[in-house]
Chains A and B, each alone.
Chain A
């Protein structure tokens, strides 16, 4: 084999090996990452706001978040039923629908779940917007669902004990229980007219979201075990309604590649002319 041919082979093999390592490395890194955000893709057609089992939910990427007992407020609890929560979301440009899914061995009338959002630009503590000593916090917007009512309640709070039901109810909810699993869909218009009370969802932007779940089972004495601030909670995570597809980056990339190609062409022509002279 000619030395030049041999070198060419090394280059090709080496390049393939490097590419394979980069690809595999990237793949494992993205797999190891935990969920930090719920992404709601934009869909055409009606949102499955009344159907937690609709096939349309399969188009949304699930995000799973760990849950903890609520410990911040003194009326706390040390153990809760729900350990993880899977969240999917969809939007159609005017409405958003968010599906919670979690394991609960028993269906009880007092089973309940809630979403929580920050309102406006001020940061709010994840425990009901508790007051913070050195930071001026804002309110939280809570979307609450309870099995026995099977409807949503749209609320605000700014600290424990300040929960208030809004005069304007914009949120809908529907739950379905099967095989030890709750599926609950919340839905609302992306934006509302009450920006001081309701979270406003703008496609493309990230907002904070957190979750709460109550297993409404009763203990031996007939008392509900998880109620009020005794519940499973999550920390703040992110939520984003995806913006309509934007192809401008592809155009820029094609333009830049064409420029580079043209530059090469001009350079080589120039060099060849120089050599000939």
Chain B
């Protein structure tokens, strides 16, 4: 039995690697805890590839998607990435959601000189030669959102609530330092971390309410992840917290997450992203239309989908420009690659492998959509934050310096490989 499986696995592998088309690996969890978010991205990629093939593929070659399921299991991400690169011999991988899965894949991608497009907002403090970060870096989401709090809403006291993992931890570290630089007292920053899927929010919400006792305007910055948001917002609504009194701005709550909630009591709370479905413009309208035609009328679009949309199209153009799918050639063509955002304006790929994108702030509406109330001009993504002293001296520039971790003080490259 075992041998039979091995043998058939081998033959199937050999068969698939025999074709000469351009292969795109899709490394998103289709089962397990992260499937809730990542399945959507897999479907997005398949849709984009279909569209490109209808247009005639790339340079006359068809694009073949190779879908694997790392099952929300982080070591499996590394295993599947290796399989995609060595057995399936894909030309590029689009995938990952969580930071830990990215850290798991990094050594493999760098060892085998692969190419990964990572579509989710993340904590920064990393730069890999082989990864293009199409999601937001902290300065493209967290910092503008905090500025909005400080300048527009006049928030003086901050509650930083997050799920206990690396993205909220690092983001909150950066924000704490940033707020202190802006003159907010350490005592006026309340930080709380909860486990994944946390559901018992009554005490934490009560703690946040109690923060108002010293007469300062309180605002919540939420990096709460996934399902836990549902319980949090339900408790918030039950406590009668109006967005006018204590606004909540979330970095991980998008259209998809709100689909599991009745939002009538949450109207006015905020989220910061680089994309909202409600953005006006014909490109976005078409994108939403195609998505709903493919997936069903009740499906929504969200920010990481736009990131894949931009990333994929940039890659296609870079391949066209390079005339091959060879990683180093494509990488060289990626720098300065331009493609229109779904929200209007142009996304540009920077030498630090991040995009320049506008930052949008939206208010939750009763239909589960966001009302865009603020939109900045394009902000350049920054791999190493300027607000932590140890990172402020670092710079990533793969185009001219050829280094992702260049120390501006000592004028030397700290390391070529990324830190994982």
Q: Is A bound to B?
A: no
Interface residues of B (CB under 8 A from A): none
